Chains A and B, each alone.
Chain A
Amino acid sequence: IAGITQAPTSQILAAGRRMTLRCTQDMRHNAMYWYRQDLGLGLRLIHYSNTAGTTGKGEVPDGYSVSRANTDDFPLTLASAVPSQTSVYFCASSEGTSGANEQFFGPGTRLTVL
Chain B
Amino acid sequence: GQNIDQPTEMTATEGAIVQINCTYQTSGFNGLFWYQQHAGEAPTFLSYNVLDGLEEKGRFSSFLSRSKGYSYLLLKELQMKDSASYLCAVRDSDYKLSFGAGTTVTVRA
A interface residues (Cβ-Cβ under 8 A, vs B): 33, 35, 40-45, 48, 50, 58-59, 90, 97-100, 102-108
Kindly identify, within residues 37 to 81 of chain B, every residue whose CB is under 8 Å from any CB belonging to chain A: 41-45, 48, 50
Given contacts A90-B42, A100-B48, 10 further A-B contacts (CB under 8 A): A42-B100, A43-B43, A43-B89, A44-B99, A58-B96, A90-B43, A98-B30, A100-B31, A104-B45, A108-B41
The A/B interface has a contact count, at CB < 8 Å, of 47
Bound complex: CA of A77 vs CA of B33, how far in Å?
Answer: 28
A43 nearest CB neighbor, chain B only: B99
Q: Give chain A residues whose Cβ lies under 8 Å from the Cβ of B1.
A: 59
Bound complex: CA of A107 vs CA of B50, how far in Å?
Answer: 27
Q: Which of these, A43, A45, A59, contacts B87 with CB under 8 Å?
A: A43
Asked whether B42 lies within 8 Å of A106 as measured between CB atoms, the reply is yes
Kindly identify, within residues 86 to 109 of chain B, every residue whose CB is under 8 Å from any CB belonging to chain A: 87, 89, 95-102
Q: Give chain B residues whose Cβ lies under 8 Å from the Cβ of A108.
A: 41-42
B interface residues (Cβ-Cβ under 8 A, vs A): 1, 4, 30-31, 33, 41-45, 48, 50, 87, 89, 95-102
**Dominant secondary structure at the B interface:** loop
Bound complex: CA of A48 vs CA of B91, how far in Å?
Answer: 14
Bound complex: CA of A59 vs CA of B98, how far in Å?
Answer: 9
Bound complex: CA of A99 vs CA of B102, how far in Å?
Answer: 23
Q: Which of these, B33, B44, B87, contacts A42 with CB under 8 Å?
A: B87
A6 nearest CB neighbor, chain B only: B42
Supposing A102-B45, A107-B42 touch, asked if A45 and B101 sit within 8 A by C-beta, the answer is no
Q: How far is the CB of A90 from chain B (nearest CB, A)?
A: 6
